[in-house]
């Protein structure tokens, strides 16, 4: 038999054993009920080999695996020298060793150990590990990249520490170089950062810019957008906002030079621009949050709110979905810190036309209700639980 045929035979035997190992992983994960075994269909390529030597070489590999205690190869009872008709798993660890692989359950256990110190700070990692146990990936990742998830935890801790020290904004590549001596490492961790920040393994992926913004990181710094016929105090003087809006570095906005009738934050850019064009001459201060606000935006928002009389209404208008109410809960904490109460604007299920409503999955709905309650909007939380719908602000 030629060397090429021998190589193909070895590949065929390995392919069969790898298939058995994959079946064992599924069985261990509870994704398969039947005990791991290779039967007629799985052994069809072996049975169809034309060369007797090729069959013998295949069988030699199986005989070795059986002698090692990894498998049990069965031949017909009436013909002990006949073709192998069934291969059963005996010991998954020994089979994996023969193939120079690691069983899935062992990989998950290693991942659990690598992330154990982070579970308290990021409980969502329990869900990540649970998904991995069931052979499900999270943002395209499996247990083999647990170290990257640990790095993402380190990024969050680092950014929070920097904000506590007063560093509200940092270039992402500078931060990455300081933390990992690799200027692009943080950007590669964006999917994992998103899950850790939202606490949700099933949520829709946000853009890289949104995720980094929440941490106070940026590729290019983005200005804060404010609209209304309002005077804003800045580093070089107090000036009225432009029409239809002004885009200013958050750090340069020091406070208010005139008192608005109310303050309204808007989550989405399109909605903000429409509002700004229609109401830029009003005495309502409208501020675009750009999704989940950055630490620098939050500091600016607190400076603005600190100048307001307690009687001035402070409102928020965002998506009627999990992300929208998560942002509302965040803003509510800021507003409470400044001595005000955050009120909802057009965020009740009844505000959404029937044609724009979508059914909310149970787990998503539970989180929407949770965040609405955290925002202090208990009546809306009850309405959400009853309506079981979600909708985007642009509708």
Model confidence at 390: pLDDT above 70 = yes
- Residue 4: what pLDDT? 45
Three-class SS state of 171:
strand
pLDDT tens digits, 154-199: 999 999 999 999 999 999 999 999 999 999 999 999 999 999 999 9
CB 104 within 8 A of CB 136: no
Same domain, 93 and 108: no
pLDDT tens digits, 283-301: 999 999 999 999 999 999 9
Top pLDDT among 46 and 2 is at: 46
- Residue 181: what pLDDT? 96
Number of domains into which the chain is organized = 3
- Residue 50: what pLDDT? 87
pLDDT tens digits, 37-63: 998 888 998 988 888 888 888 989 999
DSSP string, 98-112: HTT---HHHHHHHHH
**Mean of the per-residue pLDDT values of the chain:** 92
- Residue 118: what pLDDT? 96
pLDDT tens digits, 305-361: 999 999 999 999 999 999 999 999 999 999 999 999 999 999 999 888 887 888 888
Could you tell me if residue 395 is inside a domain?
A: no
Question: Encoding tokens for residue 251?
Answer: 């750090």
Same domain, 282 and 372: yes
Q: Show the domain range for 110.
A: 104-218
Same domain, 335 and 239: yes
> If pLDDT is split at 50, 70 and 90, which confidence band does 6 have?
very low
Same domain, 283 and 383: yes
Top pLDDT among 276 and 54 is at: 276
Tell me the three-class secondary structure of 21-78, residue by residue. HHHHHHHHHCCCCCCCEECCCCCHHHHCCCCHHHHHHHHHHHHHHHHCCCEEEECCCC
Mean pLDDT, range 110-124, rounded to an integer: 96
Query: Which DSSP category does 138 fall into?
Result: B
Same domain, 85 and 175: no
- Residue 133: what pLDDT? 94
């Amino acid at each position: 038999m030629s060397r090429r045929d021998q190589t193909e035979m070895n590949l065929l035997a390995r392919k069969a054993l790898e298939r058995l190992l994959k079946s064992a992983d599924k069985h261990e994960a509870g994704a398969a009920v039947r005990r791991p075994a290779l039967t007629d269909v799985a052994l069809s390529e072996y049975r169809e080999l034309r060369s007797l030597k090729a069959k013998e070489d295949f069988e030699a590999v199986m005989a070795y695996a059986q002698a090692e205690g990894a498998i049990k190869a069965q031949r017909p009872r009436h013909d002990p020298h006949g073709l192998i008709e069934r291969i059963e798993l005996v010991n998954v660890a020994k089979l994996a060793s023969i193939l120079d692989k690691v069983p899935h359950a062992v990989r998950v256990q290693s991942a659990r150990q690598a992330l154990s110190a982070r579970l308290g700070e990021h409980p969502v990692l329990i869900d990540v590990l649970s998904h991995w146990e069931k052979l499900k990936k999270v943002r395209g990742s499996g247990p083999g990249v647990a170290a990257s998830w640990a790095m993402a935890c380190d990024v969050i801790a680092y950014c929070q520490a920097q904000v506590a020290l007063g560093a509200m904004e940092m270039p992402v590549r500078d931060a990455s170089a300081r933390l990992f001596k690799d200027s692009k490492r943080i950007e590669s961790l964006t999917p994992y950062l998103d899950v850790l920040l939202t606490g949700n393994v099933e949520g829709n992926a946000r853009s890289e810019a949104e995720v980094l913004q929440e941490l106070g990181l940026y590729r290019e710094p983005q200005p804060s957008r404010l609209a209304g016929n309002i005077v804003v105090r800045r580093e070089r003087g107090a000036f009225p906002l432009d029409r239809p809006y002004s885009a200013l570095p958050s750090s340069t906005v020091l406070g208010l030079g005139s008192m608005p009738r109310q303050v309204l934050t808007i989550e989405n850019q399109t909605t903000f621009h429409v509002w700004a064009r229609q109401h830029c001459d009003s005495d309502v201060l409208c501020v675009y949050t750009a999704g989940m606000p950055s630490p620098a935006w939050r500091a600016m928002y607190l400076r603005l709110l600190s100048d307001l009389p307690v009687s001035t209404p402070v409102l928020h208008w965002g998506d009627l979905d999990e992300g929208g109410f998560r942002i509302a809960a965040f803003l509510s904490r800021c507003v409470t810190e400044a001595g005000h109460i955050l009120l909802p604007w057009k965020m009740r299920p009844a505000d959404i036309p029937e044609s724009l409503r979508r059914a909310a999955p149970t787990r998503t709905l539970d989180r929407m209700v949770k965040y609405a309650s955290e925002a202090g909007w208990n009546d809306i939380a009850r309405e959400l639980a009853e309506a079981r719908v979600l909708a985007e602000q642009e509708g």
